[in-house]
Structure 1
Amino acid sequence: MTSPAQPTVRQLIRNHHAELTLSERKFANALLEDYPGAGLASITAAAANAGVSTPTVARMVQKLGFKGYPQFHQALLAELQAKVSGPEARRAAWASEAPDSHLLNRFADAVTQNLRQTFSNVDTAQFDAAAKRLAATEGRLYVVGGRITRSLAEYAFTHFQAIRARVTHLTSSPATWPHYVLDMAEGDTLLIFDIRRYEENLERLARIASERGVTVILVTDQWASPVAATAEHTFNCWVEIPSAWDSSIAILSLVEALIAAAQEERWPDARDRFERLDALFELTRLFQRS
């Protein structure tokens, strides 16, 4: 299984993209369009399917840091296995290789690695573009999460609602989503949270929304939800920890960075909105006075 500090093949392609020749990029793009399936075939079949030569594929995988195609193939298989693994399999993977140090130390090391890996692989231009979309009130912002990520969606919704107007939090029940989609229009934005095991309902929602002209922003794990095929902006967060469950710490940190960027994008309008919100809190006496 991929370790928290080890980049995926998808990320390696992104990191080395500038070094690739045109033919190598052709294979890389074919792989990304059908990821990881296009790389699970034999080297001959993979090359033929992408319309390039076998030596081209061999050179590309070496540029990514693999000794040869078999190692590249195994890396993709490991990613595929990691995508579909449940809590028991995840625990078995780290427990069998656990060092003697206390769980707290191993947990802290894993979380630190996750944060470092996540933020080092964020494309700043994509981050800025996504922040502008999240801040733009010309269209409505919709936020949705899955079974595990709905708490992250609610957290994002609460903050974006304070920063800007026209924000909607979709309920966790897919049966209600058509009511929201009915009002979606070109220029709107849909922020989706989806980590393994990925939810087919979210993939369908993203596809339907995109067909209506809605910009989809995806926050996912290092293996990438299938929603990435539809999303205009995708942010991969590293999530593995010494646990049967994945960590949301890197995801939450990225979300807070997006919230901060959107806030700055809307300042001073956001400041005025905060002041009016505080006045309403005072009227409702929701908070105690200090």
Structure 2
Amino acid sequence: MDRQDAIPQALGDLISRHSSRLTDADTRLLDVLIQDPIRGAMENGKDVSSRAGVHPASAVRLARRLGFKGYPEFRSFLQASLIEGSGDFESPAARMAARLVRAEEGGLLASVLDSEITALNNVRTSVSDADIRAFSTSLRDSRRIYVFGRGHSASLSALTALRLTRSGYEACDLGSQMHQLPEALSTMSENDVVWLFAFRRPSSLMAEVRSIAAERGARVLALTDLHAARMDPAPDHQISISRGDPGESQSLVVPMTIANAVILDLAAIDDGRSLRALGDFKAFRAKAGLAAQLL
């Protein structure tokens, strides 16, 4: 086959080992599977054979030639490759399909809940109170806090900036300032903190923000999952957590829980600054009557 680079590694190894035994029908079936590995992992042998234009039994024969007892076992192998998230299976669509595969037996909602609970429990052993305190101390001692996340982490960075502002800190959500990013970053100094949120991998724009922070001497905090753990230069303080195993729901609850813990700890060490600011904000909002006008 001339599309070896497109083949997920586990399947590619199987093809290499049994290439001398493959027939023209096998090649047509494999071509269909490689063109759309996600769909191939979800379909039965009859459907795959139909799309390949071969006899319905051809999928079973291919599976046996590759060393499986039948097509259901081969399909389980494809699903396992999908869940492991390597090669061509490493895509948003593949991750969603993998979660659907996981949910087939126990139910969708139950599988999501189990995944979230497991990920949250793992935080107990991977993040310490000292990690949280390192973040909160840096925030407390800053002049200004720049918060930045892209993709799925953007919503968390926006919420974090909002909560810091209500707690009496000058916080800027860079994600909402994309049209004025140079202006927002131009006054950054060594007295400031940059809090980065990165899931799966840091974007090139985040790397630029990280570089500017290094040039200006600003302290950098990073809350990442394990895929985005490597940053260059390394942040001053970093918390890296698993948001779920491959094929499981990639939790937003886990990083949100850590961000909430940091903000709560900040309130515990800033001599009442957060509590006074929250009280003042509540009184202002009630007096101003802005909420009624926005309904």
Separation in 2, partners of 1:275, 1:97: 46
**Closer, same or farther in 2 for the Cα pair 1:104/1:171, shift >3 Å?**
closer
Q: Provide the rounded CA distance (Å) in 2 between the counterparts of 1:87 and 1:109.
A: 20
**Which residue of structure 1 aligns with residue 107 of structure 2?**
102
Which residue number in structure 1 is paired with residue 124 of structure 2?
119
CA 1:245–1:108: 2 relative to 1, 3 Å: closer
- CA contact 1:218–1:227 (8 Å) conserved in 2: no
Q: 8 Å contact 1:150–1:172 — kept in the other structure?
A: no
Task: From the superposition, tell whether residues 157 and 192 of structure 1 become closer, same or farther in structure 2 (CA, over 3 Å).
Answer: same
Point out where structure 2 has 5 or more consecutive residues left out of the alignment. 1-82
Structure 1 residues 174 and 286 mapped into 2: Cα distance closer, same or farther (>3 Å)?
A: closer
Q: Secondary structure at the match of 2:238?
A: strand
8 Å CA contact 2:112–2:248 kept in 1: the answer is: no
- Are the equivalent residues in 2 in contact too, given 1:79–1:223 (CA < 8 A)? no
Extract unaligned runs of 5+ from structure 1: 1-77
* 1:54-105 CA distance string (max 9 Å, x none): xxxxxxxxxxxxxxxxxxxxxxxx99948x9221221344444556111122
Match of 2:133 among 128, 137, 156: 128
The equivalent residue for 2:218 is 214
Preserved contact between residue 177 and residue 184 of structure 2 (Cα < 8 Å): no
Letter in structure 1 aligned against 2:213: A
Provide the C-alpha distance between the structure 2 equivalents of 1:241 and 1:106, rounded to a whole number of angstroms: 12
Aligned equivalents of 1:285, 1:160: Cα separation in 2: 22
Aligned partners of 1:189 and 1:217 also within 8 Å: yes
Look up the match of 1:262. Answer: 266
Displacement after TM superposition at 1:228 (Å): 6.3
Query: Contact 2:85–2:95 (CA<8 Å) still a contact in 1?
Result: no
Quote the offset at 1:241 in angstroms. 7.0
* Aligned residue in 1 for 2:95: 90
Residue 191 (structure 1) aligns with = 195
Counterpart for residue 155 of structure 1: 159
TM-score, structure 1 as length reference: 0.64
Provide the C-alpha distance between the structure 2 equivalents of 1:192 and 1:285, rounded to a whole number of angstroms: 34
The amino acid of 1:87's aligned partner reads P
Structure 2: distance between partners of 1:177 and 1:225: 24
The one-letter amino acid paired with 1:118 is V
**Does structure 2 conserve the Cα–Cα contact (< 8 Å) formed by 1:216 and 1:233?**
yes
| Alpha-carbon distance change, 184 to 151 in structure 1, aligned in 2, over 3 angstroms | same
Aligned partner of 2:169 in structure 1 is 165
Bigger radius of gyration among the two = 2
Q: Which has the higher helix share?
A: 2
CA contact (8 A) 1:146 1:172 kept: no
Please give the alpha-carbon distance, in whole angstroms, between the structure 1 residues aligned to 2:233 and 2:94. Answer: 27
Q: For the structure 1 residues 228 and 161, does the alpha-carbon distance in structure 2 shift closer, same or farther, using more than 3 Å as the test?
A: farther
Give 3-state SS (helix, strand or coil) of 1:246's partner: coil
CA distance in 1, matches of 2:125, 2:279: 35
Pick from 268, 277, 283: which aligns with 1:273?
A: 277
Distance 1:245 1:112, change over 3 A: closer
Alignment check: 8 A CA contact 1:122 1:235 kept: yes
C-alpha displacement of 1:249: 0.8
User: 236-245 or 183-192: which moved more?
Assistant: 236-245
Q: Deviations over 1:241-267 (max 9, x none)?
A: 797963201011111111101111124
Q: Does 1:140 align with 2:151?
A: no
The CA RMSD over aligned residues, in Å, is: 2.9
Secondary structure of 2:169's partner? Answer: coil
Query: Conserved in 2, the CA contact under 8 Å of 1:110 and 1:242?
Result: no
Paired with 1:97 and 1:80, the residues of 2 have a C-alpha distance of 13
Q: How high is the TM-score relative to the length of structure 2?
A: 0.63
Indicate the residue corresponding to 2:16 in structure 1.
none
SS of equivalent residue, structure 2 residue 197:
strand
* Larger RCO of the pair (alpha carbons < 8 Å, separation 6+): 1
